[in-house]
Amino acid sequence: MARVAARLSPNGEQSTHPVDEVLPLPKLALYGFQHVLAFYAGAVIVPIIVGNALKLSPEQLVYLINADLFTCGIASIIQAWGIGRVGARLPLIQGVTFTAVSPMIAIGLGAGGGTAALLVIYGAVITAGMATFAFAWLPAKAFRTVMRLFPPVVTGTVITVLGIVLIPVGLNDAAGGLGSPGFGDPKNFAYAGGTMLFILILMKIGKPFLSSISILLGLVGGTAVAFLLGDAKFGDVGNSGWIGVTTPFHFGAPKFEWFPIVLMLIVMLITMVETTGDTYAVGEIVEKDIDSETVARALRADGAATALGGVLNSFPYVAFAENVGLVRMTKVKSRFVVVAAGVFMIILGLLPKAAAIVAAVPHGVLGGAATVMFGMVALAGIQTLGKVDLKAEKNALIVGVSLAFALLPATVPVFFTQHMDPDLSSLLNSGVTLGATSAIVLNLLFNGLAKDEEPAPLAPVGLPVQAAAAPAGAEKAPTATEKAPVSTEKAPAAGERADGAGTPAG
C-alpha cells in the first residue's frame, strides 16, 4: 500500500502533503484524463512508427497500440502509487521512451522485420529491464561511476544524434511510407505539411495546455481532412472487437540475442539519466524533498515496467516529461491523479476499436507530426550542448565526430548489409549506437571520467513541451556542493543523482 506522508501545518497540526492528497473522485477523473490527453500522442506514436517500419499488418499494429496503452497504465500506477520500494510515489507518468525507437527499428530490420523481429526486440527489452531494476539496488559508488560517463557533452550529443537520425523516419512517413505504392506522391507531402502547419500554429497561439496536446490535435485534424478527401480508411475499425485483452508473449516466445541486448542496455543507461532528471524536476514542482532512495525507487519502476513491457508486447519505459510540464502548469500535485490516468490508460488499452482508429492515421499525417517531434528532440540536444564549452577544441571534436559516425548507417548502408556479419550489423547499423558510442569513447579519451559535479540530468526526449518544460526543473537540481538531507530510513543510494548528490531539488 502507498504510504501517506504527513507534515506539520502552520498551526502545528499534522497535514497531508499535497503529493499524497486523495482528491474527490470527479477531480481525480478530470485531472487524470487531462494527463492522458497530454500523454496520448507520445504513447501511441512509438508503436505506430516501429510497427510501420517492421511492416506489421494493421491487426498487429492495433494490438501493439493496445498493449502499449495497457502497459503504460500499469507502469504509471506502479510509479505513482508505489509497491514496496518500487515507484517514486510522485506524479510521474510512464511512457515508451523515444530513445529506443531507432535502436528497435535497427534490431527489427536486422532480424528480418515482421513478428519475428518483435521477438528479438522483446528479448532485449526484458533483459534490459531486469538489468535496470537490479542496477537501481546497487550502492551509490557503482551508480555514480556509470553516470559519470554521461556529462552534458555526451548527453547533448546523444540527444542531438537521436533527433537527427529519427527525422528521416518522419520524412519517409511524410512521403507516404517507405515501400508503399504512393511513396513520394505530392499529396502525401501536402497532408504532412498541413499537419505540421496546424501544429505550429497551435504552438504559436495556443494556451499552455492546448500547446501540450498540439501533436494529438494535429493528428486528429490531419486525419479528419484526409477522411473527408477519401484518403483515410477506417474499415479495420469495424472489424476490430470492442474488448481485447493483452496477453503475455502474444507474438511468441522472446528471443535473447547478445547484440540486441547490448544495444538495449545502452538505451536504458540513457533513460536512467532522463528519469533521474525528471524525478528531481517534479520534486521541485511539488515541493517535495527528493533523496537518493526516491530516485532509486523511480529507476526500479522504470526497470520493472520495461521488463513487464517485454512480456506484454510493449517497449522500454521512462518517466514522461510532458506530464512533468503539465504538473507545473496546472499546479495539481497529487500523485493519485496519475493513478487515475493509469486507470484510464488501462481501459483504453482494452479497446481495440480505439486503437484501430489510431492505426488508421495516414502516413502523410503521421509523418508531419513525427517530423515536428523529432526536430524538437534534436533541439533538446542542442539546448543541452549550449551548456558545454564548445570553443574548447576537444569538446567540438567530440560532437562533430560523433555526428559524422551517426550518419554513417544512413549514408553507406551497404557497408552494414553486405560487408558485415548479420549479428554485428544488428548492433552497429544504427546511427544512435554509433553516435552514442563515439561520444562516450571520445569523451573518455579527451576529458576522462567527469567529476562528480559535472554530469547533469539528461534533457528529456519527446514532444515539444518536453524540451520546454524539463530544463527549468533540471536547472535547479541540487549540486554536489549542497548538503544532503538526513533520511529517516536506510536506503540504498543506487538512484543517487548523476552528479552524486542526494539533495532535494526544492
What confidence tens digit (pLDDT) does each residue in 177-204 have? Answer: 766 777 888 888 888 898 888 888 887 7
| Predicted pLDDT of residue 311 | 94
Q: Is the pLDDT at 487 greater than 80, yes or no?
A: no
Reported pTM: 0.66
d(CA 105, CA 54): 7
d(CA 359, CA 346): 18
Exposed/middle/buried for residue 380 (C-beta within 10 Å: 0-12, 13-18, 19+): buried
> In what helix (H) or strand (E) does residue 8 lie, and over which residues does it extend?
strand 6-8
Instruction: Name the nearest CA neighbour of 52 among 212, 182, 170, 190.
Output: 170
Sign of CA dihedral 251, 255, 256, 261: negative
Mean pLDDT of 410-432: 75
d(CA 365, CA 428): 31
Q: What percent of the chain lies above the pLDDT cut of 90?
A: 13
Q: What percent of the chain lies above the pLDDT cut of 70?
A: 77
Mean pLDDT of 470-485: 37
pLDDT in tens, 116-161: 889 999 999 999 999 999 988 887 677 667 667 778 888 788 778 8
pLDDT in tens, 326-381: 677 667 788 898 899 899 889 888 887 877 776 677 878 878 877 877 777 677 77
| Predicted pLDDT of residue 97 | 84
| Predicted pLDDT of residue 304 | 94
Please state, rounded to an integer, the average pLDDT across all residues of the chain: 76
- Burial code (b: 16+ CB inside 10 Å, e: under 16) for 242-264 equals eebebeeebbeebbebebbbebb
What pLDDT band is residue 321 in, cutting at 50, 70 and 90? low
Strand 6-8, strand 14-16: pairing = antiparallel
CB hemisphere CA count around 390 (13 angstroms): 14
d(CA 25, CA 211): 27
CB count in 10 Å sphere of residue 458:
32
CA angle 93, 383, 147 (to 5 degrees): 65
| Predicted pLDDT of residue 113 | 80
pLDDT in tens, 240-258: 667 777 889 888 899 998 8
Q: Which single residue is written with the C-alpha cell 498493449?
A: 67
| Predicted pLDDT of residue 460 | 45
Under a CB-based contact definition with an 8 Å cutoff, are residues 14 and 72 in contact?
A: no
pLDDT in tens, 20-46: 878 888 888 878 877 776 677 667 778
